Structure 1
């Protein structure tokens, strides 16, 4: 990857500064996909609650990591923020402007400021267009004419993401999956956005070049002051790239904290379980017991009452079934460390301490919850 490419400069490009107003604020965000049934007249019989009350804040120049199991609503949240999906409820505020239900005309001025790197590099690129056209199209749509011309700018971007500028006239099918993802990164950078929603940006890359791409994104963040909502499964990559981390479970955020606080002193049992599953390079650490969660993730069609994690939690009690825990800062937590749990983990206990979960300790769920989790605890 070339290190000689000069990136265009923006103001306040000195990394995250949380002293001012947030760039993005999400409050109570919801996305329910309706389920229809019945004959001969179709009617709504239920809804998949993919995102069900998410609160997030991203500051200018900051990278906020969003992690959780598959199906927890991370990618849907990213698409809601970019308004690729219409929210069912809640509020999205960008740069002080409410864009929750803004029309296409109202969104047009800020479309160039919010870009997305999609998870699937195969379906996100038009197979009928050349790479040059794909990356150049956003500039044409927004009437941007960079110094030196659009073609020269596209070639610079290709070199920036580690591709040969001579690939300008090639088609997507001539590239590997990892190379296609880098084309997606170049397209996202074409308009010099203020916020990038990165949905699993390195999941399609070889291990040998994942670090290069993550370092590239960090360089872009530092030099251009771009904020990131970084969605990923790889907790090691999230810790390396993000300043703060939010943990999602079944459509809700259960913990938000500075990366060092969250990785060393997790308060939510689900976060503790996720971190215990991270492979350890140290031989002694690798021998420690992992937290093995019982049962399956409940159905988002009929989530458990109260705390949604209670059907798999070894600390659950009767209170967890009747009261939903708020996302608040608990006693003993670091500043800004928010947790949604009635019986949080002890912050003084090291994360690497052995924990063995007895499935019998999990609180009994009601019958509806049993059905949604296949009745296995």
Structure 2
């Protein structure tokens, strides 16, 4: 069942300049025509380089930002431009886990107050009371319930991220947008947090939009993966199909950079992209990856490649490339 659907989603931020009168001189094309679907109880991984629009897409999905164009459908309801009042009954069902586990927690509040906050705001009265629910959530995420009166600075980075997860679970959401939830953590702690999220998904049936730049983590946790470049989706498919048979040159380059242990001294060939990522204020015409692509031809500058299923690919494996890899 489709829980979240993003259709033709766009988000442009104005760029202002000039003196003495400031005026709009351009637009940042942060998200430019994104189509994504998240199914109930499953995880869609969203990967790409820093600055490609992943976090903005996540905030649009959670309606923390209003889209410039396109639609956000949640459980069949169009919430693209819904008012704060209209969003109020939906807010508890869509929660966020933020990238920085410290700056997203109020340092003046105790852990108990942080986790209880969403319940206070939404008037949720769980069986047994809010305080009992807070302690239960701490136990669910692997923290000592007796630490309910401690402050965020008294915890490690991994423990603070668990507090953020407990806060996201407080309202029993159906969808969690996890924005780089493990990027600020050590590798061993990353594994603990990802395994925790996987267990919560199996036990509670929560759907995730999992945003990350670590493809190994995304493969471990996601059923489907979308690759984003400069505001657009360039390839999407189930994890097995996409990781074993990437069709877009950008996806191939990303996968070549994933560290691997070569037993016989071999291993995959590393693809080094040339040039810098173009500015989202003035993106290239046609295919936005063409300025760094070794397969680009004249057609790539003239026509934007559609996101389509190529011959031989599985259902749901879509690629936006005029000259895909075989």
Q: Could you say which TM-score interval applies, normalised by the shorter chain?
A: over 0.9
Structure 2 counterpart of 1:8 = none
Structure 1 counterpart of 2:86 = 106
Structure 2 counterpart of 1:191 = 171
Q: Helix, strand or coil for the counterpart of 2:89?
A: helix
Q: Match for 1:77 among 52, 57, 70?
A: 57
Contact 2:261 2:267 in 1 (8 A): no
Q: Match for 1:141 among 107, 112, 121?
A: 121
Contact 1:63 1:242 in 2 (8 A): yes
User: Structure 1 residue 248 and structure 2 residue 213: aligned?
Assistant: no
Q: Distance in 1 between matches of 2:265 and 2:87?
A: 49
Q: Distance in 1 between matches of 2:204 and 2:142?
A: 18
Q: Distance in 1 between matches of 2:181 and 2:284?
A: 32
Contact 2:309 2:317 in 1 (8 A): yes
Q: Match for 1:118 among 98, 101, 109?
A: 98
TM-score by length of 2: 0.97
Q: Match for 1:214 among 167, 170, 194?
A: 194
Deviating 4+ runs (over 4 angstroms): none
Distance 1:285 1:56, change over 3 A: farther
Q: Distance in 2 between matches of 1:92 and 1:119?
A: 22
Q: Match for 2:184 among 204, 209, 213?
A: 204
Q: Rg: which structure is higher? A: 1
Tell me how far 1:172 sits from its aligned partner: 1.3
Contact 2:260 2:267 in 1 (8 A): no
Q: Summarize the alignment of residues 158-173 of structure 1 with structure 2, pairs less than 5 Å apart.
A: 158-173=138-153
In structure 2, list runs of 5 or more residues that go unmatched: none
Q: Match for 2:216 among 209, 212, 236?
A: 236
Contact 1:181 1:204 in 2 (8 A): no
Tell me how far 1:287 sits from its aligned partner: 4.5
Structure 1 counterpart of 2:258 = 278
Tell me how far 1:176 sits from its aligned partner: 2.1
User: Structure 1 residue 179 and structure 2 residue 159: aligned?
Assistant: yes
User: Structure 1 residue 326 and structure 2 residue 299: aligned?
Assistant: no
Q: Distance in 1 between matches of 2:134 and 2:164?
A: 12
Structure 2 counterpart of 1:150 = 130
User: Structure 1 residue 257 and structure 2 residue 237: aligned?
Assistant: yes
Contact 1:279 1:286 in 2 (8 A): no
Structure 1 counterpart of 2:276 = 296
Q: Helix, strand or coil for the counterpart of 1:112?
A: helix
CA RMSD of aligned residues (A): 1.1
Is the deviation greater in 157-166 or in 294-303? 157-166
Q: Distance in 1 between matches of 2:194 and 2:268?
A: 29
Structure 2 counterpart of 1:31 = 11
> 1:338-376 CA distances to partner (integer Å, 9 max, x unpaired)?
000000011xxxxxxxxxxxxxxxxxxxxxxxxxxxxxx
In structure 1, list runs of 5 or more residues that go unmatched: 1-19, 347-377
Structure 2 counterpart of 1:52 = 32
Q: Helix, strand or coil for the counterpart of 2:50?
A: coil
Distance 1:82 1:299, change over 3 A: same
Q: Distance in 1 between matches of 2:121 and 2:268?
A: 54
TM-score by length of 1: 0.85
User: Structure 1 residue 130 and structure 2 residue 110: aligned?
Assistant: yes
Structure 2 counterpart of 1:269 = 249
Tell me how far 1:284 sits from its aligned partner: 3.6
Q: Distance in 2 between matches of 1:32 and 1:270?
A: 23
Q: Helix, strand or coil for the counterpart of 1:77?
A: helix
Tell me how far 1:168 sits from its aligned partner: 0.4
User: Structure 1 residue 339 and structure 2 residue 310: aligned?
Assistant: no
